[in-house]
Amino acid sequence: MPTYEYKCSNCENEQEEVHGMLVSPVITCNECGSLCEKQFVPNGNFILKGNNWPSRDFKTKKEMNAKSSRMKTKMEERTNAGEGVTKLSDIKK
């Protein structure tokens, strides 16, 4: 549910309310009880909740460097794996 900001037309009190996007509730001030007007907030507080969102998959630079060095080592091992044996006679039985 999105969070909206409301401002009292009487006492200028600001408050936040949570409700659906398609709902147009009548919000009264928590301080004086007068009607409140919805305020336009250009950078709303959009939060992704739950698991497996891309924003939660970002790794730190340290983690990325560690993974990169592990992958480089693996690739070198695979590349060098076949270089030890050049003749069939080199294989020990």
pTM beyond cutoff 0.75? no
Q: What is the per-residue pLDDT across 33-87, written as a single tens digit (0 to 9) for each?
A: 999 999 887 665 666 666 666 655 566 677 777 778 888 888 888 777 766 656 6
Task: Output the six-digit token pair for 64.
Answer: 């990325």
Task: Output the six-digit token pair for 49.
Answer: 């909740």
55-92 core/surface letters (b: 16 or more CB in 10 A; e: else): eeeeeeeeeeeeeeeeeeeeeeeeeeeeeeeeeeeeee
27 pLDDT band (50/70/90 cuts)? very high
